[in-house]
Structure 1
């Protein structure tokens, strides 16, 4: 899957959880969603993108991805 698609998907998940006032809870929700729903190749790609640049990810998504096991 292309990284552009993964970025869009991750930001869409982030937008859903952004309504949560507690951003730690929101980041945990994003992390859990990605762990449950994304296959390991997708997770590996988005983690690598976030570590290398991550410019197109919103801040809440970056926080959630940083909590994912490598």
Structure 2
């Protein structure tokens, strides 16, 4: 899956959890672990390692919470 699509999806998830008033980064990370395929998580981690262009700050924080393979 292309990084652009993953960024868009992660940003949408971050927007949802920010609106809920919860601990958004942790909630986003939990969502990514539960619902994203391991290949998707690996790709978003690689995107962040390359600078993370386009990621919302909450999404970036969430990705930083993901376990590394």
The TM-score, its normalising length taken from structure 1, stands at 0.90
Partner of 2:39 in structure 1? 41
Partner of 2:15 in structure 1? 15
Partner of 2:26 in structure 1? 28
Q: CA deviation at 1:36?
A: 0.3
> Where do 1:46-65 residues align within 5 Å?
46-65=44-63
How many Å separate the matches in 2 of 1:29 and 1:21?
11
Q: Deviations over 1:17-49 (max 9, x none)?
A: 112445xx1111000000000010000000110
Instruction: Give the superposed CA RMSD.
Output: 1.1
